[in-house]
Amino acid sequence: MKNSNLKFVLLGLVLFSSFSFISYRWNANLKKKVVEATDIKVPAGFVVQVMASDLGATRHMAISKNGDIYAKLSKLKEGKGIYLLRDTNKDGIIDETKLFGNYTGTGIVINKGFLYASSNKGIYRYKLNANEEVIDTENPENIVNGLLDHGRDNAKPFSFDNKSNLYVSIGSYNDACRIPGTGTGMVPCSILDSAGGIWKFNADKLNQGFKDGTRYATGIKNAVGTFWNAKTNSLFITAHGRGQFHDFYPQFYTPKQSQEMPAEAIYELHEGDDAGWPYIYYDQFQNKKIQAPEYGGDGKKVGGEKAI
């Protein structure tokens, strides 16, 4: 991993499973319902306020031009998987909610007149009006379906570039591409043919399948956060890495090391990049790419000369 590719992002908008929080510059006219007794820290002049509670398993959010919040749910609530949250009197508190969409998932993005949302197997979209309100909540268009879903690390976050390309993360269900029942890695890791990377699709073409996409980048265990940077013309991701170092290799890793490693890195990706999973991982204490123990590593041996 190139150190220059590691970027740190201050997230001003944070959503948790049971409460919805928003961080913003304080306006004295807003109702004061500040979150207390938490470890959340924000810059001077900002506050953290509860906007809505008891939302369920909320994941990603999209904000419309009129301030409506669309939130995706990873578990159905009242049989639905998308929340519309509206602050009708602009006091900072959600006072109108609506549920729609009968599928769970993670990703949700407003793009070029549509609200796009992901299930664990595909991407759907809803036409928006001029105020970016969904016109028909009952009949979404299918953009992509049939993506890999083995129940683990199966979220499908996604982003768009400025050329109508759709970038979808497909995570690996296998922690380190191990041969089942062993601590040995598959050579080569055949999972990378259909997961462990980012795939590119046409954002405007309906009813695509996995074979209609092309692999944009590989070697990524599970990218849960994705963002296209129009200035650098590249995709930034936050990656969830592998685990279980001590479980399989106690001779090389302590329980503490197993808890703290590998680094959950932020990558800048260009087409054709390989981040190295499952063959390597990034050790944030040594600041090195280390060869995975499933592939001959011992916690010290470096590797991944061709990985970013």
On the question of pLDDT at 37 being above 80, the answer is no
Identity of the amino acid at 171 = G
Q: What is the pLDDT of residue 221?
A: 98
The per-residue pLDDT for range 114-134, each reduced to its tens digit, is: 999 999 999 999 999 999 999
Residues 6+ positions from 188 with CB-CB distance below 8 Å:
none
151 token code pair = 């129940």
Which of 255, 248, 297 lies closest to 276, judged by CA? 297
Can you tell me the distance from the alpha carbon of 139 to that of 196, in angstroms, rounded to the nearest whole number?
31
On the question of pLDDT at 264 being above 60, the answer is yes
Beta-sheet pairing, 214-218 with 273-274: parallel
Can you tell me the distance from the alpha carbon of 123 to that of 167, in angstroms, rounded to the nearest whole number?
11
Whether the upstream peptide bond of residue 188 has omega within 30° of 0, thus cis, is yes
102 token code pair = 């009968």
CA count, 13 A, side-chain hemisphere, 3: 5
- Report H helices in the chain: 245-248, 255-260
On the question of pLDDT at 13 being above 90, the answer is no
Q: Is the distance from CB of 40 to CB of 46 less than 8 angstroms?
A: no
**Which residue is it, tokens 């299918």?**
142
Mean pLDDT rounded to a whole number for the chain: 90
Can you tell me the distance from the alpha carbon of 11 to that of 15, in angstroms, rounded to the nearest whole number?
10
CATH of 56-295, one of 1.10.443.10, 2.40.50.140, 3.30.430.20, 2.120.10.30: 2.120.10.30
The per-residue pLDDT for range 87-100, each reduced to its tens digit, is: 999 999 999 999 99
Can you tell me the distance from the alpha carbon of 38 to that of 10, in angstroms, rounded to the nearest whole number?
18
Task: Report helix, strand or coil for 134.
Answer: strand
On the question of pLDDT at 2 being above 70, the answer is no
Single pTM value for the model = 0.87
Domain ranges of the chain: 56-295
201 token code pair = 């699709």
